[in-house]
Amino acid sequence: MASQEIEGTLSGLLSEPGVEGYIVINYDGIPVRSFPENNELSVQYAALIADLVAKTKATLKQLDPSDSEFTYLRMRTKNEKEVIVTNQIINGCEYILITLHSCKFSKDEEEKKEDGDGEDDV
C-alpha cells in the first residue's frame, strides 16, 4: 500500500460521521500516526490497547485453537466509542488501527430517537 493511499484512507476515515480521530500503533504498542496529534493520549491508548489485543488473541487461541483469528473489537464508553482493527498489514508490518467515534448526539437527534423518528425500520 503506497503512502498516498494510506493517507487517503485515513483522511476518508475522518470524513465519516461521528469519527473524531484515529491512532495507528504497531504491535509493540508504539504509536505510528494519530489525529488529532496528542502524543500523551496516543501513548496511553497505544500501551493499553496493544496489551488488550495481545491478551484477547491469547484468550481466543486457548478457547478455540482452530479458529482463533481476532479481527476487531468494539468498545463503547460514556464519551466515545473505540473500534480496534487488527491484522492491518502494510509493507509487511502489522498495525492496529484505533478509531475514536463520538457517541454523543445533539439534543435534536436524542429527541428524534425518543419519538422513534430517528430509528431505521428493520
CATH code, domain with 73? 3.30.450.30
The domain total for the chain is: 1
Q: Is residue 70 part of a domain?
A: yes
Residue 115 domain flag: no
The three three-digit cell numbers of residue 103, written as one number: 457517541
Nearest CA among 30, 3, 19, 14 for reference residue 95: 30
H-assigned helices in 1-122:
3-14, 39-63, 107-115
Determine, yes or no, domain membership for 112: no
Whole-number pLDDT of residue 75 = 84
In a domain, 61, yes or no: yes
Nearest to 10 by CA among 85, 70, 73: 85
CB–CB of 84/97 below 8 Å? Answer: yes
Give pLDDT tens digits along the chain (122 positions): 567 888 888 888 888 888 889 999 988 899 999 998 888 989 998 999 999 988 988 998 899 888 777 888 888 887 767 777 766 777 778 888 898 888 776 555 555 556 665 555 44
Structural domain range at position 14? 3-104
Distance between CA 33 and CA 90 in Å, rounded?
Answer: 13
d(CA 116, CA 102): 21
Please state the pTM of the whole predicted model: 0.74
- Establish if 117 belongs to a structural domain: no
